[in-house]
Amino acid sequence: MAKLGKRTTAAREAFAGKDNLTVEEAVALVKGNAKAKFDETIEIALALGVDTRHADQMVRGVIGLPNGTGKTMRVAVFARGPKAEEAQAAGADIVGAEDLMETIQGGTIEFDRCIATPDMMPIVGRLGKVLGPRNLMPNPKVGTVTMDVKAAVEAAKGGEVQFKAEKGGVVHAGLGKASFDEAKLVENVRAFIDAVQKAKPTGAKGTYMKKISLSSTMGPGVTLDVDNATGN
């Protein structure tokens, strides 16, 4: 059995016996024990009472966090002509059409968000098996299939977070960096939980939010009191 490092051991001791915390308590604990040599991401996981195999129980949405994510978002845009120029002017990292499709098909995916104008979707559609599993497929429901590429690029660069329930009904997201002020992290956590709450699908039955946990990139997780986190 591998020997645990001093930092890992100290973190586990700090977290021992602590669960069902308020958002403020959880943020303070996780942030206070994020002591890696890099600026760790504060991550949230929500276990939802949904079965994503059913269309009426899919949870999907987007939220512009009040204090951003602290992450540099690389944005690719499928567009032609004036819309391509608009995307470039807005700060898109990669802009293209068939050439971008071929680059992605060749295995090069150097972006975190993919946006497309509606007329580009026949091209983008060929990349479903590549972009879909990575949650990068443009989708009108979250504003990434749009004619307003300027607004979409600016939103992505400004700290907008997309979320989607994975198999098992779990939603994951990074909500900021350990270097953020506690108050800003608390704001981001509450805003994200509220967005997932509002995205409750019509087919969800019984308890919707079953468990919420918070952690840092390298640290252990702690559970939140669901009623406190959701304002119930």
* Residue range 81-96, pLDDT digits in tens: 999 999 999 999 999 9
Same domain, residue pair 179 and 142: no
Give the pLDDT band of residue 207 (cuts 50, 70, 90).
very high
Same domain, residue pair 63 and 172: yes
Give the pLDDT band of residue 44 (cuts 50, 70, 90).
very high
Give the pLDDT band of residue 3 (cuts 50, 70, 90).
very low
Same domain, residue pair 181 and 145: no
Sign of the CA dihedral running 63, 64, 65, 71? positive
pLDDT at 176: 95
* Residue 3 counted as domain residue: no
Same domain, residue pair 43 and 86: no
Q: Which of 136, 157, 178 is the last residue of a domain?
A: 157
Mean pLDDT across the stretch 52-72?
Answer: 92
Q: Specify whether the CB–CB gap between 142 and 60 falls below 8 A.
A: yes
Q: How many CB atoms lie within 10 A of CB 196?
A: 22
pLDDT at 167: 84
Q: Specify whether the CB–CB gap between 92 and 77 falls below 8 A.
A: yes
Mean pLDDT across the stretch 137-166?
Answer: 93
Give the pLDDT band of residue 128 (cuts 50, 70, 90).
very high
Can you read off the two tokens belonging to residue 93? 């990292």
- Name the 3-class secondary structure at 214: strand
Give the end-to-end CA distance of the chain in Å, rounded to a whole number. Answer: 43
Closest listed residue to residue 147, CA positions, set 77, 97, 99? 77
Q: What is the residue whose two structure tokens read 């019984």? A: 206
CA dihedral 7, 8, 10, 12 (to 10 degrees): 160
Q: Which of 157, 190, 208 is the last residue of a domain?
A: 157
**Can you spell out the DSSP letters for 3-45?**
PPPHHHHHHHHHHTT--SB-HHHHHHHHHHT--SSS-PEEEEE
The model carries a pTM of 0.81
Give the pLDDT band of residue 6 (cuts 50, 70, 90).
low
All residues at 6 or more sequence positions from 202 whose CB lies less than 8 Å from its CB, including other chains: 56
CATH number at residue 174: 3.30.190.20
pLDDT surpasses 90 at 142: no
Give the pLDDT band of residue 16 (cuts 50, 70, 90).
low
pLDDT surpasses 50 at 211: yes
Closest listed residue to residue 48, CA positions, set 187, 231, 232, 226? 226
Which residues constitute the domain of residue 168? Answer: 19-69+161-230
pLDDT surpasses 50 at 55: yes
Choose the weakest-confidence range: 42-46, 174-178, 215-219, 227-231: 227-231
Sign of the CA dihedral running 29, 32, 34, 35? negative
CA distance 160 to 68: 7
